[in-house]
């Protein structure tokens, strides 16, 4: 069976998901539409879908090559990636290396403070509840996953931070923070969703320039330019 798209099963703010003729796979289509600040700020970033697709595909393939199991299969075209169908675990993990975003208010530390050790935060994926922060005991009490799966998720989040952070620094990119999600494929925990400037904070290591979605959130200039820059640096790595 092939990876021909059959029907749309999900439409989100920044991506569409389609079933494939190969019923073990899904197709994810990245859009140019961008929403942030709780959906109150929206706009089109030219060619964003194309660059997100390329960046995410590169990072997932890199992580797969370095021992992180993922749902990534292949890029289908400029804006669509084929992935393995996964039973998603309703937990988001945010790994933080540098103080930015909401961590400024929650710690009282100035933006840009390098943390003495990475912070791994856990959030319950419930949009109608605004994805509340939880801890390990919440996750187990709510039966979001079992203890072994939770160990694997936390361990792989830390491994991704180390592997990806070292990779990015070679291209003068600081991995400030990032969000990851995981799912089950054939009873194996795999990295799923995406890793891109939409879900990470990337800063230029030399200048501190923001090369991610914060450019859009904070009206810091040409957002497409930042996504292009990240893509170009990764492609030459």
Q: What is the CATH number of the domain that holds 21?
A: 3.30.200.20
Q: Do residues 70 and 135 both lie within one domain? A: no
- Give yes or no for a contact between 104 and 192, defined as CB atoms under 8 angstroms apart: no
Considering only CA atoms, which of 26, 81, 69, 57 is closest in space to residue 186?
Answer: 69
- Are 111 and 182 found together in one domain? yes
Q: Is residue 159 part of a domain?
A: yes
Whether 201 and 114 map to the same domain: the answer is yes
pTM of the model: 0.94
Is the pLDDT assigned to residue 175 strictly greater than 60? yes
14-43 pLDDT, tens digit per residue, is 999 999 999 999 999 999 988 787 667 888
Whether residue 99 is found in the same domain as residue 199 = yes
Residues 13 and 104 in one domain: no
Phi, psi torsion values for 165, nearest 5 degrees:
-60, -45
| Same domain as 139, residue 105 | yes
The answer as to whether 186 is a domain residue is yes
The secondary structure of residue 129, as a DSSP letter, is G
* Domain that includes residue 123, residue range: 87-218
Q: What is the pLDDT of residues 146-165, one digit of tens each?
A: 999 999 999 999 999 999 99
Q: Whole-angstrom Cα distance, residue 111 to residue 78?
A: 35
pLDDT at residue 54 is higher than 70: yes
- Clarify whether residues 61 and 92 are in a common domain: no
């Amino acid at each position: 069976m092939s990876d021909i798209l059959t029907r749309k099963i999900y439409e989100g703010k920044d991506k569409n998901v389609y079933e494939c003729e190969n019923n073990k796979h899904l197709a994810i289509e990245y859009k140019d539409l961008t929403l942030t600040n709780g959906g109150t700020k929206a706009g089109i970033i030219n060619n964003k879908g194309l660059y997100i697709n390329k960046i995410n595909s590169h990072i997932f393939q890199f992580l797969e090559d370095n021992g992180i199991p993922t749902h990534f299969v292949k890029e289908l075209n400029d804006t669509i990636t084929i992935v393995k169908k996964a039973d998603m675990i309703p937990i988001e993990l945010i790994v933080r290396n540098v103080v930015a975003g909401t961590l400024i208010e929650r710690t009282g530390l100035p933006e840009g403070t390098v943390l003495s050790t990475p912070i791994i935060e856990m959030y319950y994926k419930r949009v109608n509840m605004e994805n509340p922060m939880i801890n390990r005991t919440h996750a187990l009490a709510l039966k979001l996953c079992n203890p072994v799966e939770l160990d694997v998720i936390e361990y792989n989040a830390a491994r991704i931070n180390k592997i990806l952070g070292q990779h990015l620094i070679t291209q003068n990119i600081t991995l400030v923070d990032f969000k990851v999600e995981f799912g089950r494929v054939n009873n194996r925990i795999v990295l799923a969703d995406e890793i891109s400037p939409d879900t990470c904070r990337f800063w230029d290591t030399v200048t501190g320039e923001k090369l991610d979605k914060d450019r859009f959130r904070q009206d810091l200039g040409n957002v497409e330019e930042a996504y292009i820059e990240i893509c170009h640096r990764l492609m030459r790595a």
